[in-house]
Chains A and B, each alone.
Chain A
Amino acid sequence: MREIQYREAIREAIIEEMDRDRKVFLIGEDVGVYGGAFKAYKGLLDKYGPDRVINTPISETAIIGAGIGAALTGYRPIVEIMFIDFAALAMDQIANQAAKIHFMSGGRLNVPLVIRTQGGVGKGLATQHSQSLEAWFYHIPGLKVVMPATSYDVKGLLKTAIRDNSPVMFIEHKMTYPVKGAVPEEEYTIPFGKADIKRKGEDITIFAYSNMVLKSIEAAEELEREGISCEVVDPRTIVPLDIDEVINSVKKTGRLIIVSEACRRGSVASDISARVTERVFEYLKAPVKIVAGLDTPIPYNSTLEWASIPQKSDIIKAVKELLEEIL
């Protein structure tokens, strides 16, 4: 199968959906001539024109608001927020408006809105351009939250997001854009709430999403050479969450490590740990272990930056520690 970059997979998904449905349009800062800060929209302005690729001033709250209003009145906008950190500028529109309108109206109004954004550490962009803020959105009823790790997943999930009638936070990772992965030529979509076993294994379950899936796979490959078999489970969407797939894996392995780049305090990882422990405590041979980002702002210096989030070596160390522990 052909291999394409993550950013190319995004572009393909958008082209397919914009060709399929006239109601889909793009709106955001520097999405026009510039092609998006991470170049996912390269050439789209020429292809679709300024009526469907709408370049905006720097006004996050108004851009999301406009997206909501257009969604309420018949369009399916894809709003780009350049860095997830900037979603803070539009939190009322995301959390109080987009997320709640369907419910508040007793189901009579729909907000088919995709908010495409990206987060994560790795480019030396420091505190206000590197955060992993998915927990903010995970916490808000009414939002769906997608965190694709691979080219295949990002394409199939983005197409599903565009067709969904609820607002979707589509959170990419800045380190994954150039990564290549297998993507079929023919059209496909990936349903929300369906986890993917990225790697089969027997001894331990590693639950990870977004870029941490790639690091977990690397760790699992290295551990395999030492005779340790890791199963890597990627939920792909954290809302809705395919908890059953995690549970099934834990029932088999009896051990769970949750890997996440976000700060640990109040994290998605903590919630997954609680949910799994509630459901299958009796299957656990050792306590659930969380390998997460430190509870610190993201620093600039590259040594400090890398120290602030989990690395392959941290995952390997955690796996070995957990295999030694007996409950």
Chain B
Amino acid sequence: MGNDLKAKKLYITIDGYRMEDKFSGLDDSIKIEMLRKMYQIRHFEDETEQFIIRGMIHGTCHLYTGEEATAVGAIYAINDDDYITSTHRGHGHCIAKGADLNIMMAELLGKRTGCCKGKGGSMHIADVDSGNLGANGVVGGGIGIATGAALTCKMKKSGKIVICFFGDGAANQGIFHSSINIASIWDLPIIYLCENNVYGMSTPVKEAFNIEKISDRKCAYGIEGLTIDGNNLVEVFNTVSHFSGECRAGRGPVLIESLTYRWRGHSKSDAQVYRTREEIRQWVERGPIERYKKILIGGEILTEKEDKDLEKEVAVQLDKATKFAMESPFPEPSEVEDDVYA
């Protein structure tokens, strides 16, 4: 009888799409694992911010703080061997997809032990082993690449899919249009996941678009699309679970707009004159980790104490990553011309 109860599927409706509530059927351990990932991202970004303040980041960094539910919810809804492409604000995607925190932190400090031997830095972190085809310094630069990876999935009939992360700003680049169009005509297994975090650098979305929802652009390509609460991990997970199934079944691409907010400035040199403290405070109150934690504690999946212990474990892990990065060697000048050609 117990099995019958478990087999009963619950359904929910998000932005007009009826879908299975797959989150409710997950093992508690996976639900807690997702919280751990969110903490890893939050602490990684906090450590990075400290490095920025101390002048130890040679270039720039774009912090993902406040957007954790989108990366974690989406990536936990697909398989380990599926692909993603990331953005200049890419640490969250990279961590959620399973990159090693030590070599990520080493990369930010420009160390030879970094995932790109110190040659990529924050904006070009890639992690082949976990299927992360790379962050990108160009807004929209990864959209075509993701589409090509989806072409591979289709041609190989591998059953794999791609999540293409990009921001609201990228949705106004030409490559957004051309790529989604070809993905649509070829029914490619790809989720175009637009992280609408309200600002493209300083320009508010309401000044950059004359449409209500970015996902309304689905009509132009004859594909499915919807807008979701990107700070609600459960909603992100369920939506991406549903549409990853659609993609794997050959029902083509989808455009998901995930509404979120970046807590920090655009990059390390942003004085944030374009927004108010009050606006930031309101979003922080609706922060993704804070909301998800309440769901887990309220559902008796996690106690307050277990939550605190979990965060402490993550803090220790980050200390180790920081130590690894600090103690790692810099590359030698003689390495500068390595890896120009394969």
Contact = CB atoms under 8 A, between A and B. Distances in A.
Interface of A: 25, 51, 56-57, 59, 61-75, 77, 92-93, 96-97, 101-112, 141-142, 144, 164-166
Contacts of B182: 56-57, 59, 62-63, 66
Contact of B144 (A62, A101, A110, A144): A62
Contact of A93 (B126, B144, B155, B339): B144
B179 interface: yes
Contact of A166 (B115, B156, B181, B342): B342
B148 A70 contact: yes
Contacts of A109: 126, 128, 133-134
B124 interface: yes
B137 interface: yes
Interface size class on chain B is: 35 or more
Given A62-B175, A70-B152, A73-B149, A103 B340 contact: yes
B330 to A, nearest CB: 14
B155 A105 contact: no
A163 to B, nearest CB: 11
Given A72-B133, A104-B126, A107-B338, A61 B149 contact: no
Nearest to A59: B178
A105 B126 contact: yes
A45 to B, nearest CB: 16
Nearest to B140: A92
A87 to B, nearest CB: 14
9 residue pairs, one from A and one from B, having the closest CB atoms: A65-B144, A69-B148, A106-B117, A62-B178, A165-B342, A59-B178, A107-B339, A106-B116, A66-B148
29 contacts: A56-B182, A57-B182, A62-B144, A62-B147, A62-B182, A64-B144, A65-B143, A66-B144, A69-B147, A69-B151, A70-B148, A70-B151, A72-B149, A73-B83, A92-B141, A97-B136, A97-B138, A104-B120, A105-B119, A105-B124, A106-B116, A107-B117, A108-B115, A108-B116, A109-B128, A109-B133, A110-B342, A142-B341, A165-B342
A112 to B, nearest CB: 7
B94 interface: no
